[in-house]
Amino acid sequence: MGAVVKALVVRLDSDGDVLTTGPAVRAVATRAEVTYLCGPKGRQAAELLPDVANVWQWSCPWILADPPDVSAVDVQRLVDRLTPFDVAVVLTSFHQSPLPMALLLRMAGVRKIAAISTDYPGSLLDHRVRPGLDVEPDQPEPLNALCVAEVAGFALPPDDDGKLRILKPPDMSGLTGVAPYVVVHPGASAPARAWSPDRCAEAVTALRRAGHRVVVTGGPKEVDLTAWVAGTDGVDLGGRTTYPELAGVLATADVVVVGNTGAAHLAAAVGTPVVSLFAPVVPASRWKPYGVPVAVLGHQNSDCRGTRATECPVDGHPCLNSITAADVMAAVRRLT
């Protein structure tokens, strides 16, 4: 037998971004041992991806919203660590450049590097995917990642449906109670992508009055938000689940009501339909939950469209706050 091919898959931002790379990871794993290089905000998702042998974490100065200072010692330490790899698949969003990472990989002696790049890469990439030429503009993010894997020589096997997937999550019925139930996840990674707490609370009450059990989820920093949204009509799980446990809660829900944030992609990865409260600061065609039934709510032609804003630039946040509890109820009915 020949030597094992060692492949590095790189995605350096957040949990949802990492989850969208799952199909590409599985493609690479058909012919190589995969190490995943992620940022601190994506590690918990990377650890749930099937077919990943190792997860490495690095805080990237040109990707993170709260970037560390550039350190020659830190960069050299990373370069030294990258030397064992035969091939690297560098995955980025449409507004990020893969070329700084490609430079470090070249310095480490990695022989084959693939990425999507708008900019001319010179000798930094062996396989370049050009946006708008080699891939359709604004196609779903998982398909972009798969394209990069494919040009590097890795393809999904015929029996792989190409959907998002994670390792089997734990049974959370002891915490949620017996299904069925609807999950409302009110938090988001950026305020511009969040439905208002009052609207979320109205939706919980409306769902409860319509006969649904409602479970409200959120992270440790969102406990005040989830308590307000759950009120007396929902089961408040804010701050009470690990990331794998959150996946378990989402996996047995009938539907998840959530903004454009990591929990939406986690719901897709466990096969649960999503009512997506989607602010158009980034394109829904790229970032709506992939591979599951989805109802996209939110005015996609609002003035904030394409701004990538983290704080809504329009008074009143109309792209989302004009959506009502009745709109959500109608979407839940369609999906359930």
Tens digit of each residue's pLDDT (9 = 90 or more) over 191-211: 888 899 999 999 999 999 999
Task: Classify burial at 220, counting beta carbons within 10 Å of its beta carbon; exposed 0-12, middle 13-18, buried 19 or more.
Answer: exposed
- Reduce the secondary structure of 261-311 to three states and give it as a string: CHHHHHHHHCCCCEEEECCCCCCHHHHCCCCCCEEEECCCCCCCCCCCCCC
Mean pLDDT of 165-175: 97
pLDDT at position 2 is 63
Domains and CATH numbers, the chain: 6-151 (3.40.50.2000), 173-335 (3.40.50.2000)
Are 7 and 85 in contact by the 8 Å Cβ rule? The answer is yes
Model confidence, pTM: 0.96
Please give the helix or strand (H or E) that residue 7 lies within, else none: strand 6-11
Tens digit of each residue's pLDDT (9 = 90 or more) over 102-111: 999 999 999 9
Tens digit of each residue's pLDDT (9 = 90 or more) over 53-91: 999 999 999 999 899 999 999 999 999 999 999 999 999
Dist CA 176 CA 4 (whole Å): 43
Angle, vertex CA 64, rays to CA 62 and CA 68, nearest 5 = 75
Tens digit of each residue's pLDDT (9 = 90 or more) over 231-275: 999 999 999 999 999 999 999 999 999 999 999 999 999 999 999
For residue 97, give Cα distances in angstroms to 100, 118, 289. Answer: 7, 8, 23
- The mean of the pLDDT values for the chain is 95
pLDDT at position 62 is 95
Percentage of the chain lying above the pLDDT 70 cut: 99
pLDDT at position 142 is 97
pLDDT at position 304 is 86
